[in-house]
Structure 1
């Protein structure tokens, strides 16, 4: 298999002095003599059923005689005739080899003067592990499996039209495995290696590096270890081919994960909306739900004018008036002359500028926050009307939305992109490049339909096509839409772009957008933990025995996972599942929802944040980027945005989805459901609630033919719900038209 790529595989032992490599020796015909030490290798090579392009390999290594100090074992895949044009990916850590210009040496580095008002600015990342952007320079990436959403190393060769995916497990008795990628000086050969355990000189942090503290174990006679991995070598014509293959196989080696049913969506919604309701403030700047742990307001990104949406969905007069007050505040205080919004304001009314340069003092705002503002302002307007309160919608809100949509359209016409930072007063792009405008096409598509402005839909299509081709197809990444990173690859832009692609399918009915969405969902899957990592037994997550498959990694700079997609339900993944019938999209969003619930603070038995009941925070940490003591430990605080994730998932995802004519039952809520019988136009399902909480479960039932029609943004308002007590079971009779009744 490897010969197709001028590759070969060999096994070795490596002796270290601390983290410095002293000697490395390879096995020859299953044997290795190192001084007085004798090592034996037994190799098992098996085909993978149903996958002729894959092999399962187990390398059992034993020290048959002698003692070996500070020694690791490993397997190397050496690829000759290598090209720096090959796309290299390690899920959640490395995209396109991270072969980009780098700036700063730490968290959220400042931009240099030449990066402002420069349409030719290159994609620039923080100081992360990367292959060299310079020609004629050797480079190496040192990771451990805790740095990856899936323990995998992948690449695509455009010249050979081949893809390679190497999957392994997380750890051995010695700890997490190491994963290294080393390119020679002439950049015509590259080595991918797995070691047991990881022995890195430097561990990557949040935009910097620190001593790893790794160490290799001592071996005595008779000690042995089995190194297991799977290798795929397959035909691939593009980066999207590699990504879609990865999503298909990402769980095949580590096996199915085990989401725990413990917190019904309705209980999660109850707890999180209580927190949000209690965090409504009236300050000199205006009235709003707090998006942070202070009284300043940030628009978009970290919940500003997002957490108000589930409060509006509660459909009670008190919260409706509060939401209206927040919309008044946003459109009256934050919109600049250009139509773009400022990104934030202090409680006493001082506008906040972002990513400023002393050389260019004009106040700037994040393009991402403005894209959020357009999407969520439109969703608020739609929800008011779906609830029968269209008369509450003020002309000022609609005018603000139109001005913002027009600003995006004007920027697109002028520059053919949206940029990363924008000057709110002039509308000029202050920092170009990145996928910061990933969500903008979604907002433009909704606004086009709402205001009957076909020009905006055209801009949405053109801009989404641009991002898809430039970033996804050619680079295999999206990035740069967070306020605390550079243009680094990140998950939020990946999921945000999914929102846009499904919006375009929704408003055009053109299935080519579905095909793009499938590729984008695959990219999203690279950011999502595909298995349940083993955390240190003494850590908080270890003690709670949390199953964290579904936690979403932040960015290649911020090397941690989090509960949920930042400020989104991920309902677009459900919509993709509904439109295609492909269960892997349902599986992905179910994992994300259940991992979120694992992070919610529910005393006395499930304490995570040591904060409010129902609160959550942004750290699920499998890596040692913040030090080895941080692995598996929560941070004792709360984040509004993770709580917003939970509220949105509880609203915009059905608890149970049924296709009545195909007798398919898919469960997202923390209940169990199965088909009992079918009679005529009715089916009978049994539902069990294994949790400690009473639940109110939303059911969305339809025929398969109805699933071919795109799902609207407020469909959840019409989903019927049924109550089920903790520990009890019930039966539901579902008619072909979706009507449910208890039996």
Structure 2
């Protein structure tokens, strides 16, 4: 379709109000030619949230009869980036008045295809063009999803393009819904990528992000509006009236929309994801993490909470994984929060960890080798998904994947601490049986599924990336138990998930117990764990290439900037810098402090192996956003709970209503405390490559190189916080960084004590030894 015909077709399809904008300065339109795209600048009037009219600027002025508008366009090339153009569209009401009016820029694309991959970070993946069920949080599965390998990937009721052919669709969002204010797509036929980046707000508040598609699904529109005026706001698997309101204008009122466009060659979805990771901060700019809570102080606070939550109940003894006395395995802390307690390396906690492992092995393992997902304190087993066809309880594949990984990590840590004699034969046999259950499932079905029956080993629900972490656990188990065939299964499974889910769909999902098979962050980060495990145990650098793509997908889930929250909200009052908060899923439209449930040390491992600073920056952001959510009385109250507690809600969107934006939920979540403990342990506070003078800081201290010579580096560590810090320092050469890091390497990192407000000098010799000066 030619460009003139495109405009005419867009008018006919209702996606454009005129085609005279071809007279506008052509720099942006010329830039968009490879995608057959045309930009328009619009004035939109509303009745409530109903669009009454859309008028498009034919040039630099628009007369609506009751008002005269001026458009001032400033387009700039982006230095060093020939595939980008920077645009600021200034709208001014020169004469008259305008009620209930918004302004927008829209880009209309012809030669569109429903096979194009569409992504809005943290809320839309592959256009969310999948079967949808329910109308609310965690909808029940229809019967056709059980025992059916052919059941399609199924999501809850989220903003989406039509899964059916011949139907129009519109996705209405505001910038607060996205981890980065961005809209992206990959043109499947022309192999071109498109990224639009914009800012969170104008003076009218959060801007709107809209993607619409005509009934023929051969043209689309991507629009940014100031402000957002949506009919419906997306919630947790449902929609509600947005309450958005377009502002009234008087003569002289003005507003600008700033955006940047990228059009680039992209052979596949991975290429688009990698490009997005490279540019995601380029419009919002560098974020400003605050150093407030040393990692060692957090570890002290959180392990105190966990230690005091060790219970003995009728069914057994364990660290509480929730706010009640029931036990849940994996996912949100069960047999995960025991790991940092073991890392404390004291006899009391070591015996408690052993008691929890005894309980898990004795009470939760089914005949197949798989484990049940939970058990009540009185001893009744809990199923994870109601099964309409069988009396057999189901369990999450995700929980079993976690169980295998954390069994193995516990064993490795016992050995590293010199307490291998405490590892019981029963524990090892349980882990061996679990690994074999995964191997058997793979051999029978060629996938791990989403839900299984622990007694029979049957897959109850197929599809999703619920087994994202399973290859990591299998790889460690293969080495530990000397079973090379297991490593081959891990290799095959990792390749399967990478090709089916990442390369072909640009998403991973379905490994949370409270969503359907929706795209989510937990599977994304969990799969990166597996890819780095494959690199560790095979030495094959092709896994690093896959891991870099996966890390880019992970980055789409993390806030890339410090959002502006309502000034009277709890987060607003504390002036929290929340870049790095990790969004949950396309159903659960909120961010959270940290990764559920992991330190993200695989990002650090990937940084060591590649030298790409983006991965170190991402994990630094995640760590610092976590600290912002930690309850620190008296001046930093987030949970109204124990010092060191935290909770899972950082809410930049109105998915739970406009009053929820920026407000914490006054409770605590064990899993957010657990991932904080893990970050404090498994990430170094300061990382140094001595020969390259490379310095990366994850802890809440300020560090700089004072001098260097052939014998040592001298660095200055300043602790600007109100707490004494015990900073882990990991130093090595660039050559040493090419060797994968053992899982328990953190045990050997030396610690440097730096009191609150103190500045200290340390020397690091060429062998990485730390000397306090």
**TM-score, normalised on structure 1?**
1.00
Question: Counterparts of 1:611 and 1:676 in 2: how far apart (Å)?
Answer: 42
Q: CA deviation at 1:358?
A: 2.9
Aligned-partner SS, 1:78:
strand
**Deviations, residues 456-479 of structure 1 (Å, cap 9, x unaligned):** 100000000000000000000000
Residue number in structure 1 paired with 2:382 = 352
Residue number in structure 2 paired with 1:368 = 398
Aligned-partner SS, 1:107:
coil
Q: CA deviation at 1:567?
A: 1.2
Does residue 1:114 correspond to 2:130, yes or no? no
Residue number in structure 1 paired with 2:164 = 134
**Deviations, residues 82-116 of structure 1 (Å, cap 9, x unaligned):** 00000000000000000000111100000011110
Q: CA deviation at 1:736?
A: 1.4
Q: CA deviation at 1:158?
A: 1.6
Q: CA deviation at 1:681?
A: 2.5
Structure 1 stretches lacking a partner, 5+ long: none
Question: Counterparts of 2:709 and 2:578 in 1: how far apart (Å)?
Answer: 40
Q: 1:683 aligns with which of 713, 733, 741?
A: 713
Question: Counterparts of 1:681 and 1:576 in 2: how far apart (Å)?
Answer: 28
Q: CA deviation at 1:45?
A: 0.6
Residue number in structure 1 paired with 2:372 = 342
Question: Counterparts of 1:626 and 1:25 in 2: how far apart (Å)?
Answer: 33
Q: CA deviation at 1:682?
A: 1.1
- Range 25-34 or range 442-451, more displaced: 25-34
Residue number in structure 1 paired with 2:41 = 11
Question: Counterparts of 1:704 and 1:3 in 2: how far apart (Å)?
Answer: 44
Question: Counterparts of 2:517 and 2:202 in 1: how far apart (Å)?
Answer: 35
**Deviations, residues 213-250 of structure 1 (Å, cap 9, x unaligned):** 00000000000011110000000000000000000000
Question: Counterparts of 2:648 and 2:391 in 1: how far apart (Å)?
Answer: 32
Question: Counterparts of 1:422 and 1:681 in 2: how far apart (Å)?
Answer: 58
**Deviations, residues 554-590 of structure 1 (Å, cap 9, x unaligned):** 0000000000001100000000000111101000000
Q: 1:528 aligns with which of 558, 574, 592?
A: 558
The answer to whether the 8 Å contact 2:387/2:394 transfers is: no
Does residue 1:161 correspond to 2:183, yes or no? no
Aligned-partner SS, 1:66:
strand
Number of residue equivalences: 743
Residue number in structure 1 paired with 2:577 = 547
Instruction: Describe how 1:427-442 pairs up with structure 2 within 5 A.
Output: 427-442=457-472
Structure 2 stretches lacking a partner, 5+ long: 1-30
Residue number in structure 2 paired with 1:189 = 219
Does residue 1:627 correspond to 2:683, yes or no? no
Q: 2:753 aligns with which of 707, 723, 737?
A: 723
Does residue 1:591 correspond to 2:587, yes or no? no
> Over aligned residue pairs, what C-alpha RMSD do you find?
0.5
**Deviations, residues 52-93 of structure 1 (Å, cap 9, x unaligned):** 100000011100000000000000000001000000000000
Residue number in structure 2 paired with 1:66 = 96
**Deviations, residues 413-463 of structure 1 (Å, cap 9, x unaligned):** 000000000000000000000000000000000000000000110000000
Q: CA deviation at 1:645?
A: 0.7
Q: 1:704 aligns with which of 719, 734, 738?
A: 734
**TM-score, normalised on structure 2?**
0.96
Residue number in structure 1 paired with 2:253 = 223
Does residue 1:171 correspond to 2:236, yes or no? no
Does residue 1:571 correspond to 2:601, yes or no? yes
Question: Counterparts of 2:506 and 2:66 in 1: how far apart (Å)?
Answer: 48
Q: CA deviation at 1:357?
A: 2.4
Does residue 1:642 correspond to 2:672, yes or no? yes
List 4+ stretches of structure 1 deviating above 6 A. none
Q: 1:254 aligns with which of 267, 284, 291?
A: 284
Question: Counterparts of 2:433 and 2:392 in 1: how far apart (Å)?
Answer: 21
Residue number in structure 2 paired with 1:37 = 67
Residue number in structure 2 paired with 1:282 = 312
Q: CA deviation at 1:735?
A: 1.3
- Range 52-61 or range 349-358, more displaced: 349-358
Question: Counterparts of 1:292 and 1:688 in 2: how far apart (Å)?
Answer: 37
The answer to whether the 8 Å contact 2:684/2:729 transfers is: yes
Question: Counterparts of 2:560 and 2:740 in 1: how far apart (Å)?
Answer: 28
Question: Counterparts of 1:361 and 1:395 in 2: how far apart (Å)?
Answer: 32
- Range 381-390 or range 677-686, more displaced: 677-686
**Deviations, residues 118-167 of structure 1 (Å, cap 9, x unaligned):** 01010000000000000000000000000000000000012011000000
